[in-house]
Structure 1
Amino acid sequence: MSDSLQHECGIALLRLLKPLDYYREKYKTAFYGLNKMYLLMEKQHNRGQDGAGLASIKFDMQPGQRYISRIRSNDPTPIKDIFARIKIRFSETLGSKNPEDLTTQELKELLPYIGEVYLGHLRYGTYGGNSIEQCHPFLRQNNWMTRNLLLAGNFNMTNVDQLFNKLISLGQHPKEKADTVTILEKIGHFLDKENEEIYQKYRKAGYSKKDISPLIAQELDVANILKKASKHWDGGYVMAGLLGHGDAFVLRDPNGIRPAFYYVDNEIIAVASERPVLQTTFNVPLESVQELEPGHALIIKRSGQYFIKKIKKDAERRSCSFERIYFSRGNDAGIYQERISFGKSLLEPILKTINYDLENTVFSYIPNTAEVAYYGLIQGLNEYLNTKKAEQLAKAGKALTQQQILSILNQKIRMEKVAWKDAKLRTFITEDASRSDLVSHLYDVTYGIIRPSDTLVVLDDSIVRGTTLRDSILKILDRLNPKHIVVASSAPQIRYPDCYGIDMARLGDFAAFQAAVALHWERGTHYILNEVYQQCKAYLAEEDPEPKNLVKAIYKPFTVQEISDKMAELLSPPGMKAKVSFVFQSIESLHQSSPMHTGDWYFTGDYPTPGGMRVVNKAFVHYMEGNPNRAY
C-alpha cells in the first residue's frame, strides 16, 4: 500500500496437551512451547510493529512459586527483543548449569515461560501512544488463582463510552477510558462474580476454604462469563484470554469482522489470526486448520478438554474485505486466489482507460502488497492478448507468411518493475516527518524503459489518503516522461472511516471524500454539506436512533468516475507533465472475487453494527467542526 496505513493486530494462543516431558523427549528440547510461540508470532509480524507481548501459565506449581509470567516490548523489533530478553534471563538464571542435566520439572520451577499455556500478541496501534502499558497481553491480577485474567486481542469497540459507564454503574472505578481497560474489567467483573457464586455454594455445603479453590477451577463456566461480559459490545473483535488456573478462550465477534483460525491435534491446540501461520508452524495441510465461526468461542479447560460454544446471537456475516485485499499475508490459498481475481477484475476498466493500446502501455505495480493482484492483471491481459492474436490469425487465413505469423505471436504485454521502495529512507523519515523533500524520494524508479509515447499503468492495492501518491510516487514516475499515468486500485474508493480496528478514522483525510467536497463547491451544491451536518447532529442527539448512514448523501450526486477524475486532479502534484487517471475496483467485482468477505463499509458505508453508523455520522460532525479527534 502506497499510503501509510496501520495493520491489524495479531494473536497467538498455544495449549500443550501432553506433559512437558513428552515434548522434551519427542522434539529433543525443553523449550518446545516457546519455539512454537516464536514461530506463531514471527509469521504474523506483518500484523504488528508497534509492540508485542507474551505470557505463559504453568500448571501444578506450589503456593509461593510463580505460575504466571508476562513480558512486553515496544522496541522497534519487539518480537526479537522479547525472545532475546527471555534468552538472557535463562542464561542468567541457569548460570553454569546445563539445562540437559536438569529435569523438566526443575527447569519449569527455575525458568519463567516454561509452561503449558501461552498467549502472544502483536500490536499495531490505531491511535494513541506506544508505551509498554498499551502492549498486550493485559493482566488483571488477584491472589486467587481462578480470578487472574490475561487478555489480548485484535479489536476495536465503537461504544467505549457506553461500556465505561456500565462499569461505573457496577460500582467500579476504571483507571482510564479505553476499550482495552473496559473489556478487561468487564470480563474480570463477571469472572469475580462467578468465582464468588461457586465459592458461596460450597461454603454453604460445609467445605473448607482451602478445598473450594480446585472446585472453582473445575466448575468455572467460561462461556457464561463471556456471554454476560460481551452483552453490550459493539465492534469488531477477536479476544483471547487465559485464566490463572489454566482455562483459555478465544471469542470472535458475531459479524466475523476480525479473523481467527485454530488447529487441534493430540499434542496441541493453537489459535492465530491467519490460517497459513498455523499451517507453516505445525506443518499441516489447509483442511486441518479450522475457522472459528463468528459469535462463537473456542474454550479450552484446564483438563485439556475443548469445545466450541455459541456466545453471541446470530448476525449478518461481514468479514473484513481489507483482510483479503491487504492485511493478511498473501500465502493463504484463498487470499492468493482472491487477489489474483482482484487484478483480473480490473482488466476491462484499464483497457478502456488506455484505449486498448497495449503496444504503447507498460504495466507495473507499487510494491509490495499489490504484487499478487498484479499477477492476476497480467494473466487477464495475456488472455485478452491471446484472444486478439487468434482473431488476427483467423482473419488472415492462410495468406500470412511465417514472418507475419511470428510478428503476431510475438506481441507481448510490456511488464516492468518501475517503482522501488527505499525502506531505509522511510525509517529515517519517520523521525522527522516534516522533511517533505525526503518524502518525495521514498521510491526510486527504473530509468530507460518508458518511451515518451507510452502510458504507464501502476497497480496499487488501495488509495486511502493519497498523500504518498501526491508527494512521492507521481512525482517520481513523471520523471520517466510517460504521456499518461494510470493508477489502478484493487480496492474500490475508500469513502468512509473504519471503526473496527483499522487506522482510517477521519473523513477529511480520504482522497475520495475530498474529491466529493470539491465537486460540491464547484457545482454550487455545498449547501448539502451543512444539511447533512445538521442531520448528523440531530441523529447523535437521539438516545437510540435507527441506524442510518447520513453521510452517503455527500456522495449521492456523483458517479464513481466523476469522483475518480476529481481525485486525479487533486492528487496530481504541481508541475506534473503526464496526464493522471485513476481506475478503481467496482463493489460488484469485489464481492464476486471475495464472496465470503463482504465487510465493505469503508467503500459502501454499510456498517454492520449500530455503533458503526453512529461513528460515521460523528466523523462528519467532527469534519465540519474542524475537530481532529477520531469519532470513537
Structure 2
Amino acid sequence: MCGINAIFLSDPDTVTSCRASAELCEGLGVLQHRGQDAAGIVTCGKGGRFYQCKANGMVRDVFNQHNLTSLIGYMGIGHVRYPTAGTSSHSEAQPFYVNSPYGIALAHNGNLTNAAELKNFLDHESHRHVNTDSDSELLLNIFASHLQKTGKFRVNEEDIFTALRGVYEMCSGGYAVIAMIAGFGVIAFRDPHGIRPLVIGERVNEHGTDYMVASESVCLDQLGFTNFRDVKPGEAYIITKEKVSVQQCVPAQKFTPCIFEYVYFGRPDSIIDGISVYRARLAMGEGLANQVIKKLGSLSEVDVIMPVPDTSRICALQLSYKLGILYREGFIKNAYVGRTFIMPDQNLRRASVRRKLNAMPMEFAGKNVLLVDDSIVRGTTSKEIVQMAREAGAKKVFFASAAPPLRYPNVYGIDMPTSSELIAFGRTEDEVADAIGADAVIYQTLDDLVASCRKFNKSISDFETSVFTGDYVTGITKEYLNELEEGRRAATRAKKELSNGIDRMPPKMGSEKMLGLHNNRT
C-alpha cells in the first residue's frame, strides 16, 4: 500500500519556482501513513526538463529546504512507498522515469498480478530494459511501449488514451497510477475494478485552476483543493495547460474498492469513494457490539473498553457507547515510531510494538479489559499487547477485532502475501485467542463489516474482501499464490543469511562493508 499525489499549477511563474514540489511534499506528509519505506518527487519545469529527488526514509528525512528548492516546475508527481512486491531497496523508490518516448515519470499504488508475463513481453517483444523488481517500473514501460507505437514527434490526448487502453488490456491487478509526460501534462488512471483509491480536486485562483490527484481526499483538503471527484474504475484523466480531458478507457468491471482502506489504511478524515472513513469506523463499532454480546453473553465480565491506538479508537468509542461500558485509554502511543503493520520485516514489527506503546497500570490493575483493534493480521502485535495488558495488572484480557479473521493472501498491494503468515489461517477463534494469549477473541462478521461501509454509498454493491474470503475479483490461480508463497520464503531465507553473515563479520570488516553499502546508496 502506497500513497501517491500529483499537481498541476496554472500560474505561469511556477515554471521556474519550487511551489509545486513544496505542495507535493506537504501532501506526501499527509499521506505518510500509507508508506514509510521511501519517498520521492519528480517535477517538470521550463523546456520539459525533469527534476527528481527520491530516497529511502520518511518524507521529513528525504526532503529538506535545499533539495525542494532544486525541484522546480509547474507540475509534478510524488510517492510514499510501502514495500509489497520487490524489496525495500533504494533502487525501488518511486517515481520511476524513462526517457523514451518523450520522457515519462510514473508512480503507482497497488500490485500487478501478471508481472512475470509483462516482464517477458518487455524483454522479448518490446525490448525495453527493466532495472528493478518493482511492478511500477513494469507499468511505466508497458505504457511507454504503447505510447511509442504512435511514432509521432508530439503526442496528443487521444494518442495517450489509446496507449492507456493498451495498458488496461495487458495489466491485471489493483492499481491507481499517476504519470507525467515531459512538457505535456499529468495523467491519472485507475484499475477497472477500482480496487485502489484515487481522487482529483481543483483550486481556482486568479491565473486559472490548479489540479491535484491523490490517494485520499485529506491530502487535497489540507492544501485547499475542493470539488473532489473519485476517478472511476477504468477511467483516465489528462491535465494540460489547455484543458482537462477525461475518458472511460475500458468498460468498468464490478466496482469493488478495497475494504481494508476503511478498516485500517485510510485516515479517518478522508472520504474514499463517497464513504467517510470516520463514519464507517463508527458503524464498525456498532456491528462489533452485537458480536461481543453474542460471544461473552454477560457484559458484567467486562469492566473497561480500551483501543489499541490509533486506528481502532473510533470503533472502540462507538462500541463503548453501544454497550454502555466505560471507555479508557490504557495505552499511550509514541507518535515518533512508525506503523508496525507496514514495516517491511517481521522482526522489526515485533521489536517496535513495545517501543510504540506503553501500558498505564492504573487503568489495567485488577480489571477485566476488552481491547479493541482494527484487525488481527500476523498476531505479532496482538500477542505483545495482550502480554503488556497482563503485565500491567489486568485480570482478564478479551480482544475484539473490527475486521473478520484474515485467512488469505492479499495480491492487490497489501503486505499479506502468504496464508501461513496469517494467525487466523487454519485456526478457530478460540485457537487464535490461545495463540495471542487472550481469554477470548471476538471478530466482526463480514456481513456487518460490508454493511458498515456500504450504508454510506449504496451504489457500491460489494467490496474487495479476498483476505477474508479467498475470492479474488480479478481471478487468481493457485499457481500464482504458490509462487508468491515460495518467493516470500526465499526472501525470508535471504534476509536471515544476510543477517547471519553480517553478525559473523569482524568489527573492522563489518564497518568497511557497511560503508561500502552506504556509498552505493548515495
Q: TM-score under structure 2 normalisation?
A: 0.83
Aligned to 2:472: 607
> Would the alpha carbon gap of residues 278 and 439 (structure 1) be closer, same or farther in structure 2, given more than 3 Å must change?
closer
- Describe the SS at the equivalent of 1:166: helix
The one-letter amino acid of 1:282's match is G
> Would the alpha carbon gap of residues 594 and 615 (structure 1) be closer, same or farther in structure 2, given more than 3 Å must change?
farther
**Could you tell me how far 1:152 is from its partner in structure 2?**
0.7
Contact 1:17/1:304 (CA < 8 Å) preserved in 2? no
Contact 2:85/2:134 (CA < 8 Å) preserved in 1? no
Aligned to 1:467: 380
> Would the alpha carbon gap of residues 41 and 582 (structure 1) be closer, same or farther in structure 2, given more than 3 Å must change?
same
Q: Deviation digits for residues 33-74 of structure 1, max 9, x if unmatched?
A: 233222221111111211111111124x3xxxx721111121
- Structure 1: give runs of 5+ residues left out of the alignment: 1-7, 25-29, 91-111, 199-212, 383-412, 516-562, 573-578
Alignment of 1:553-632 (within 5 A): 563-572=428-437, 580-595=439-454, 596=460, 598-611=463-476, 615-616=480-481
**Could you tell me how far 1:245 is from its partner in structure 2?**
2.4
2:493 pairs with 1:511: no
Contact 1:159/1:611 (CA < 8 Å) preserved in 2? no
> Would the alpha carbon gap of residues 588 and 621 (structure 1) be closer, same or farther in structure 2, given more than 3 Å must change?
same
The one-letter amino acid of 1:17's match is S
> Would the alpha carbon gap of residues 357 and 220 (structure 1) be closer, same or farther in structure 2, given more than 3 Å must change?
closer
**Could you tell me how far 1:432 is from its partner in structure 2?**
11
Contact 1:234/1:610 (CA < 8 Å) preserved in 2? no
Alignment of 1:181-220 (within 5 A): 181-194=137-150, 196=151, 198=152, 213=153, 216-218=154-156
The partner residue of 1:170 within 125, 140, 158 is: 125
**Could you tell me how far 1:616 is from its partner in structure 2?**
3.8
Bigger Rg, which one: 1
**Could you tell me how far 1:323 is from its partner in structure 2?**
0.5
Contact 2:302/2:370 (CA < 8 Å) preserved in 1? no
Q: Deviation digits for residues 393-413 of structure 1, max 9, x if unmatched?
A: xxxxxxxxxxxxxxxxxxxx3
2 CA distance for matches of 1:456 and 1:172? 60
- Describe the SS at the equivalent of 2:439: strand
> Would the alpha carbon gap of residues 601 and 58 (structure 1) be closer, same or farther in structure 2, given more than 3 Å must change?
same
Alignment of 1:198-347 (within 5 A): 198=152, 213=153, 216-218=154-156, 221-264=159-202, 265=204, 266-282=208-224, 284=226, 288-301=227-240, 303-332=241-270, 334-347=276-289
Aligned to 1:391: none
2 CA distance for matches of 1:46 and 1:247? 28
2 CA distance for matches of 1:437 and 1:54? 31
> Would the alpha carbon gap of residues 600 and 435 (structure 1) be closer, same or farther in structure 2, given more than 3 Å must change?
closer
**Could you tell me how far 1:80 is from its partner in structure 2?**
4.5
Aligned to 1:443: 357
Aligned to 1:83: 64
Contact 1:354/1:455 (CA < 8 Å) preserved in 2? no
1 CA distance for matches of 2:266 and 2:184? 30
The partner residue of 1:68 within 50, 68, 72 is: 50
The partner residue of 1:497 within 395, 406, 409 is: 409
Contact 2:330/2:364 (CA < 8 Å) preserved in 1? no
**Could you tell me how far 1:129 is from its partner in structure 2?**
3.3
**Could you tell me how far 1:312 is from its partner in structure 2?**
2.3
> Would the alpha carbon gap of residues 436 and 491 (structure 1) be closer, same or farther in structure 2, given more than 3 Å must change?
closer
2 CA distance for matches of 1:241 and 1:620? 31
The one-letter amino acid of 1:134's match is E
Contact 1:54/1:119 (CA < 8 Å) preserved in 2? yes
The partner residue of 1:47 within 34, 50, 54 is: 34
Contact 1:15/1:117 (CA < 8 Å) preserved in 2? yes
**Could you tell me how far 1:484 is from its partner in structure 2?**
2.4
Q: Deviation digits for residues 125-149 of structure 1, max 9, x if unmatched?
A: 125433332111111014xxx6211
2:9 pairs with 1:16: yes
Contact 2:31/2:219 (CA < 8 Å) preserved in 1? yes
2:319 pairs with 1:377: yes
- Structure 2: give runs of 5+ residues left out of the alignment: 455-459, 494-522
**Could you tell me how far 1:451 is from its partner in structure 2?**
5.6
The one-letter amino acid of 1:589's match is D
> Would the alpha carbon gap of residues 41 and 493 (structure 1) be closer, same or farther in structure 2, given more than 3 Å must change?
same
- Describe the SS at the equivalent of 2:65: helix
**Could you tell me how far 1:79 is from its partner in structure 2?**
4.2
Q: Deviation digits for residues 314-338 of structure 1, max 9, x if unmatched?
A: 2111100010111010112511000
Contact 1:174/1:182 (CA < 8 Å) preserved in 2? no
- Describe the SS at the equivalent of 2:450: helix
**Could you tell me how far 1:82 is from its partner in structure 2?**
2.0
**Could you tell me how far 1:304 is from its partner in structure 2?**
2.9
> Would the alpha carbon gap of residues 347 and 20 (structure 1) be closer, same or farther in structure 2, given more than 3 Å must change?
same
**Could you tell me how far 1:350 is from its partner in structure 2?**
1.2
Percentage of matched positions with identical amino acids:
25
The one-letter amino acid of 2:23's match is K
2 CA distance for matches of 1:245 and 1:436? 47
> Would the alpha carbon gap of residues 374 and 39 (structure 1) be closer, same or farther in structure 2, given more than 3 Å must change?
same
Q: Which has the higher strand share?
A: 2
Contact 2:233/2:255 (CA < 8 Å) preserved in 1? yes
Aligned to 2:78: 120
2 CA distance for matches of 1:442 and 1:272? 28
**Could you tell me how far 1:430 is from its partner in structure 2?**
9.8
2 CA distance for matches of 1:365 and 1:493? 18
The one-letter amino acid of 1:599's match is E
The one-letter amino acid of 2:396's match is H
1 CA distance for matches of 2:300 and 2:179? 55
**Could you tell me how far 1:629 is from its partner in structure 2?**
7.3
2 CA distance for matches of 1:317 and 1:613? 24
What is the CA RMSD across the aligned residues, in angstroms?
Answer: 3.1
Aligned to 1:179: 135
Q: Deviation digits for residues 389-439 of structure 1, max 9, x if unmatched?
A: xxxxxxxxxxxxxxxxxxxxxxxx322211234566889999994898886
